[in-house]
């Protein structure tokens, strides 16, 4: 995690850097810092806490300078504090660094450097790297970019770094391995950032750096890229496709609310040009060349983390249902370390909003090393996961900035439905009539989501009743078991209320002991699939005086009578219910968190892009 941004060019750097930090704050907000090169000196300012605190700290100070870099931190090594905040300086103060990632062999390097007389002021792994660069530069008398290159050859771990040198007041050195880094190329200026959001208002020409590449960026000179093994690379300049409006709040109080309300559009966008309901077919251009391989696969393994893992679970249910290929779903963090059985005939699908999750990336590398074909379902175009996979399908949900994932989940599920339908048609595993019906049902989902969003006020009223609870349960069966998990995750991560998701029938194997009159139980109980069984589970909770909040199919009079509160959603096919049932749960969590004065977009201890394992 951590967000980094840098600038060199004719403009004042500070406004660009501070705005960039606000855009990147979703990546971590434990501390923030900035370095400006002025009068051949490195001026460093840092603060514990959020970017706004840095901005307040700097108000009235001289922040002039046309080259600089800035950092917003998600703490890994060392507590959130000013001392541990980036940028970090080398011992002789001639160099400064910002870093996103983890230097795994930092302890060894630190003790070697200590033996050579270096003093450490912070507990971070990053400080090790800048002392190492200084050490190499001093001993080998090489330019700073060469010292960075040599140092990176000694480093084990992940990094996106920017280094400034007071001896080179027009030069930025940037490098990456495992953590993302984008270089923006303007007319006579350059930008560097963890993602494109700090860059898009200045230029849409970008270079997504690859692992083990170093960018040597100098004002008025062409961008130079080389590998850490010293091979020159031609920069591959791409056009950005996002616009500024997509990354602003657009009148909503929070990004999370905006993103919840964007779902009719984001689901439509994820299906645009792929779902042809009237013509009766589905296409997924990104995996076209792999279709036959997928159809012949013995098994599909899906790997992901968090909300994306929940989407994968929905995918498991629907691909097995539609295509009859066995599917396994794995937490990336477990998969990568547990010596899994992977065959060349397996298809591994990695699902990730950010496309940067370190565990998912490592799971991909493992699967590739065993010869499997690896596909990606990612939201961020050009992200590390999108590039590490053999092929894939972008979700096109647009930038998701709220730390809690909302529209990315429904876009992932939409893509998984398309994937299942495409294979089912090619494989002939479902009747044509069912296939056409599902196409039309899927096509109708965005407008059904719109009708659910109209219930926002009613949902807010329900949220008010439960905002002070300490615990909660979310229960669902079949396709709605992952929805229960996702509902519980949304509540706990943004409101800090303890929430557990369970398959409804599992409740009696333990969690039922928790139920009393103070326990709200959210049932996802559409009139589809195992509806009758859900009624029995609801009775079991009622008998123990638990409070029932039920997500029901519109017009279900039975559950209206049984539940303490209900939210009606339009009817749809059983396998598409997650796309609808998730929406009220997102809204409940959002409103509860707002009423509890929680920071909805930046919940404590979290970061949007988990680039550490």
Stretch that binds ligand F6R, among 222-230, 300-308, 390-398, 578-586 (CB under 6 A): 300-308
Pairing of strands 327-331, 31-38: unpaired
Q: Contact between 333 and ligand F6R (CB under 6 A)?
A: no
Of the residues 2, 168, 378, 598, which is catalytic? 2
Q: Is 501 in contact with 477 (CB distance < 8 Å)?
A: no
Cβ neighbors of 261 (< 8 A, separation 6 or more) are 252, 453
Number of residues that bind ligand F6R (CB under 6 A): 14
Instruction: Pick the binder of ligand F6R from 307, 480, 582, 586 (CB under 6 A).
Output: 307
Q: Which part of the chain contacts ligand F6R (CB under 6 A), choosing from 7-15, 256-264, 301-309, 534-542?
A: 301-309
What is the distance between the alpha carbons of residues 574 and 322, in angstroms, rounded to a whole number?
A: 12
Residues 6+ apart with CB under 8 A from 412: 308, 311, 351, 353, 377, 379, 395
Provide the minimum distance between the beta carbon of 374 and ligand F6R in the complex, in angstroms, as a whole number. Answer: 15
197 binds ligand F6R (CB under 6 A): no
Range list of β-strands (E), 195-294: 205-208, 213-218, 224-227, 232-233, 238-239, 275-276, 281-282
Q: Examine residue 353 and tell whether it contacts ligand F6R (CB under 6 A).
A: yes
Contact 442, 414 (CB under 8 A): yes
CB of residue 363 to ligand F6R, shortest distance in Å: 11
Active-site residue flag, 226: no
Active site residue 168: no
- Does 405 contact ligand F6R by CB under 6 A? yes
Of 525-564, which residues contact ligand F6R (CB under 6 A)?
Answer: none
Structure tokens at 198: 């700090």
Least distance to ligand F6R, CB of residue 556, Å = 29
Q: Is 395 exposed, middle or buried (0-12, 13-18, 19+ CB in 10 A)?
A: buried
Q: Is 270 in the site for ligand F6R (CB under 6 A)?
A: no
Determine contact, residues 27/72, Cβ cutoff 8 Å: yes
Interacting span for ligand F6R (CB under 6 A) from 132-140, 191-199, 259-267, 303-311: 303-311
Is 404 one of the binding residues for ligand F6R (CB under 6 A)?
A: yes
Contact status: 472 vs ligand F6R (CB under 6 A): no
Task: Give the one residue of 124, 354, 495, 530 binding ligand F6R; rule: CB under 6 A.
Answer: 354
CA 435 to chain centre: 32
- Please give the residues from 480 up to 519 whose contact with ligand F6R meets the rule CB under 6 A: 489, 493
- In the set 20, 306, 520, 529, which binds ligand F6R (CB under 6 A)? 306
**Which one of 226, 448, 490, 608 is the catalytic residue?**
608
Nearer to ligand F6R, 131 or 396 (CB): 396
Exactly one of 352, 495, 589, 602 binds ligand F6R (CB under 6 A); that residue is: 352
Q: Give the count of alpha carbons within 13 A of 591, CB side only.
A: 18
Alpha carbon distance 191, 67 (integer Å): 10
The token pair at 347 is 């298809």
Name the residue among 461, 443, 474, 612 with its Cα closest to residue 551: 474
Q: Which residues of the chain form contacts with ligand F6R (CB under 6 A)?
A: 305-308, 352-354, 357, 360, 404-405, 489, 493, 610
Catalytic residues: 2, 608
């Amino acid at each position: 995690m951590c967000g980094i941004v840098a600038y060199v060019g004719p403009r004042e750097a500070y406004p660009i850097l501070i705005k960039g930090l606000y855009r990147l704050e979703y990546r971590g907000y434990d501390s923030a810092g900035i370095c400006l090169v002025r009068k051949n000196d490195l001026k460093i300012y840092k603060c514990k806490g959020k970017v706004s605190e840095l901005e307040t700290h700097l108000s009235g100070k001289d922040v002039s300078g046309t080259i600089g870099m800035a950092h917003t931190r998600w703490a890994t090594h060392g507590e959130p504090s000013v001392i541990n905040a980036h940028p970090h300086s080398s011992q002789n103060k001639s160099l400064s660094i910002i870093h996103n990632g983890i230097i795994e062999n930092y302890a060894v390097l630190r003790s070697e450097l200590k033996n050579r007389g270096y003093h450490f002021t912070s507990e971070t792994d990053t400080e090790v790297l800048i002392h190492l660069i200084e050490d190499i530069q001093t001993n080998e008398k090489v330019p700073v970019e060469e010292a960075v290159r040599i140092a990176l050859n000694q480093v084990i771990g992940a990094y996106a770094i920017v280094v400034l040198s007071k001896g080179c007041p027009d030069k930025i050195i940037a490098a990456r391995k495992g953590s993302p880094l984008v270089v923006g190329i303007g007319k006579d200026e350059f930008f560097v950032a963890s993602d494109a959001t700090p860059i898009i208002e200045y230029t849409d020409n970008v270079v997504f750096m690859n692992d083990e590449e170093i960018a040597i960026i100098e004002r008025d000179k062409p961008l130079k890229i080389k590998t850490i093994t010293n091979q020159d690379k031609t920069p591959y300049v791409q056009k950005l496709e996002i616009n500024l409006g997509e990354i602003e709040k657009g009148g909503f109080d929070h990004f999370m609310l905006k993103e919840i309300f964007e779902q009719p559009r984001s689901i439509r966008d994820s299906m645009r040009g792929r779902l042809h309901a009237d013509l009766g077919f589905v296409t997924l251009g990104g995996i076209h060349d792999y279709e036959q391989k997928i159809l012949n696969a013995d098994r599909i393994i899906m790997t992901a983390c968090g909300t994306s893992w929940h989407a994968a679970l929905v995918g498991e249910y629907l691909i097995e249902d539609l295509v009859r290929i066995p599917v396994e779903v794995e937490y990336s963090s477990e998969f990568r370390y547990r010596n899994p059985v992977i065959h060349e005939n397996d298809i591994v699908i990695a699902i990730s909003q950010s496309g940067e999750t370190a565990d998912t990336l490592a799971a991909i590398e493992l699967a590739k090393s065993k010869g499997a074909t690896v596909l990606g379902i990612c939201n961020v175009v050009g992200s590390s996961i999108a590039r590490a996979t053999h092929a894939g399908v972008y979700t096109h949900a647009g930038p998701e900035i709220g730390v809690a994932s909302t529209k990315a989940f429904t876009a992932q599920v939409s893509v998984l439905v398309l994937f299942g339908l495409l294979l089912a048609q090619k494989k002939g595993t479902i009747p044509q009539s069912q296939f056409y019906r599902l196409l039309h049902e899927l096509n109708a989902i965005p407008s059904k989501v719109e009708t659910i969003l109209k219930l926002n006020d009613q949902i807010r009223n329900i949220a008010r009743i439960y905002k002070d609870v300490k615990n909660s349960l979310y229960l669902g069966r079949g396709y709605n078991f992952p929805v229960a998990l996702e509902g519980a995750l949304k509540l706990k991560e943004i409101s800090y209320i303890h929430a557990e998701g369970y398959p409804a029938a599992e409740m009696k194997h333990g969690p039922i002991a928790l139920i009393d009159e103070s326990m709200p139980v959210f049932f996802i109980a559409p009139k589809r699939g195992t509806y009758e069984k859900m009624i029995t589970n609801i009775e079991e909770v009622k008998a123990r005086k638990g409070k029932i909040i039920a997500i029901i199919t519109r017009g279900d009079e039975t559950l209206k009578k049984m539940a303490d509160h209900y939210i009606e959603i339009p009817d749809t096919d059983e396998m598409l219910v997650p796309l609808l049932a998730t929406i009220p749960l997102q809204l409940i969590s959002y409103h509860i968190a707002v009423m509890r004065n929680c920071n909805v977009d930046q919940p404590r201890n979290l970061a949007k892009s988990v680039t550490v394992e």
